[in-house]
């Protein structure tokens, strides 16, 4: 079902672009997604992945710091 929905998505986009570019007068075909899938999982770009990992590293260091403070009886901030 997923691959069919992807193909329908591509077909809809092609038809919309053809209309925008003036290759067809109007799009009369309605390609609807099959039931069971209404969203698409997105894959991060290399840049997004790098920024995400840097952000998680910062959060991880603050958690580790709070944990070490707690172990030593200091109040975590």
Q: Specify whether 22 is located in the same domain as 50.
A: no
Asked whether the predicted pLDDT for residue 76 surpasses 90, the reply is no
Q: For the chain, what is the domain count?
A: 2
pLDDT by residue (tens digit) across 17-29? 888 898 888 877 7
DSSP letters for 15-72: HHHHHHTTSSS------PPPTT------PPPHHHHHHHHHHHHHHHHHHHHHHHHHHT
- Which range marks the domain in which residue 1 is found? 1-41
Q: Specify whether 37 is located in the same domain as 49.
A: no
Q: How many other CB atoms sit within 10 Å of the CB of residue 11?
A: 12
Residue 49 binned pLDDT confidence (cut-offs 50, 70, 90): very high
Q: Specify whether 59 is located in the same domain as 31.
A: no
Task: Output Rg (C-alpha) for the chain, integer angstroms.
Answer: 24
Q: Specify whether 36 is located in the same domain as 60.
A: no
């Amino acid at each position: 079902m997923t691959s069919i929905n992807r193909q329908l998505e591509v077909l809809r986009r092609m038809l919309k672009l053809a209309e925008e570019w003036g290759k067809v007068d109007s799009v009369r075909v309605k390609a609807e997604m099959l039931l069971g899938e209404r969203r698409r999982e997105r894959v991060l770009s290399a840049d997004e992945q790098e920024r995400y990992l840097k952000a998680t590293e910062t959060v991880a260091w603050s958690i580790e710091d709070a944990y070490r403070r707690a172990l030593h009886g200091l109040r975590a901030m």
